[in-house]
């Protein structure tokens, strides 16, 4: 008859011949006890799948916590046995190691892969809002949950470029002095410089001018109608601009 056999999970990898032995428990007294076994003519190779990441890339250079970026990766089955469907996970790691990395929520589904087959795809992932600022390696890990028994658990690969995670910080580093005396409704020239002293790029923004009696920003300050458009500024970049602005005609006189 025919039966289905289960190869023990502890079987060392290698090439085997199948041997069938009748009365292997020796319960039957026989004329000849030496002829009970027959060896198969063919061999059975006991092997495992081996999923590895062959490439990981991202075009993102900087990212704010809570924002998204795309990761492209390729998974190959370099083992000698088919790999069942799996899931690729993504991490941000300061030292390039998965064990110390921050798991990103998005995953990529990988179909069944025959030996030598490759699965390539792109996934949009979100930077956790609670992540600390720093320079991170972007990791892709084939069979991220570790549900597949493999010949070698060499599943993770880092992108060739790192990702700087942090926040911009715009400050006004210089502001020209206004005239000592001016009447309501009159104009004067003003210039200012904005610096992004943060660690990542700041999107385009607007600088507004106020007239303040006490020199501190408060709700009773008077907004000057002219505003300055500031372009996107990379980390450490500055932008200087100037224009003529008008003191609102309704501005109360003051010293």
Q: Would you say residue 59 has pLDDT above 70?
A: yes
Read off the pLDDT band of 46 (50, 70, 90).
low
Helices vs. strands in the chain: H and E counts, helices first = 0, 15
Say what the pTM is. 0.70
User: Does residue 113 register a pLDDT over 90?
Assistant: yes
Which band of pLDDT confidence, cut at 50, 70 and 90, is reported for residue 163?
A: very high
Q: How far apart are CA 68 and CA 62, in angstroms?
A: 10
Q: How many CB atoms lie within 10 A of CB 242?
A: 12
**Positive or negative torsion for Cα 61, 66, 67, 69:** positive
Return the minimum-mean-pLDDT range out of 29-43, 57-71, 162-176, 182-196.
29-43
Q: Is the pLDDT of residue 254 over 70?
A: no
Of 226 and 92, the one with more pLDDT: 92
**Share in percent of the chain as helix, strand, coil (round to 5):** 0, 50, 50
Whether the pLDDT of residue 13 is over 70: the answer is: no
Rounded to whole angstroms, how far apart are CA atoms 168 and 201? 6
Determine phi and psi for 99, rounding to 5 degrees: -60, -30
State residue 226's pLDDT score.
80
Q: In whole angstroms, what is the distance from residue 110 CA to residue 119 CA?
A: 6
**What's the mean per-residue pLDDT of the chain?**
90
CA dist 142 and 154 (Å) reads: 9
């Amino acid at each position: 008859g025919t039966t289905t056999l289960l190869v023990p999970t502890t079987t060392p990898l290698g090439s085997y011949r199948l041997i069938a032995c009748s009365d292997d428990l020796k319960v039957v007294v026989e004329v000849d006890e030496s002829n009970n076994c027959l060896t198969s003519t063919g061999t059975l190779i006991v092997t495992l799948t081996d999923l590895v990441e062959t490439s990981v890339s991202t075009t993102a250079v900087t990212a704010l916590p809570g924002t998204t970026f795309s990761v492209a990766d390729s998974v190959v089955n370099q083992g000698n046995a088919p790999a069942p469907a799996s899931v690729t996970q993504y991490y941000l790691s300061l030292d390039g190691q998965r064990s110390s990395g921050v798991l990103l929520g998005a995953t990529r589904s990988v179909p069944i892969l025959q030996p030598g087959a490759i699965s390539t795809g792109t996934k949009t992932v979100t930077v956790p809002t609670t992540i600390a600022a720093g320079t991170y390696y972007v990791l892709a890990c084939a069979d991220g949950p570790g549900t597949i028994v493999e010949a070698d658990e060499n599943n993770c690969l880092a992108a060739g470029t790192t990702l700087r995670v942090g926040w911009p910080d715009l400050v006004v580093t210089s502001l020209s002095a206004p005239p000592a005396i001016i009447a309501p409704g009159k104009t004067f020239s003003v210039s200012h410089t904005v610096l992004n002293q943060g660690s990542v790029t700041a999107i385009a923004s607007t600088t507004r001018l106020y007239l303040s009696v006490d020199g501190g920003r408060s709700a009773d300050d008077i907004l000057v109608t002219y505003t300055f458009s500031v372009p996107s500024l990379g980390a450490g970049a500055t932008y200087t601009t100037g224009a003529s602005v008008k003191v609102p005609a309704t501005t109360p006189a003051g010293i």
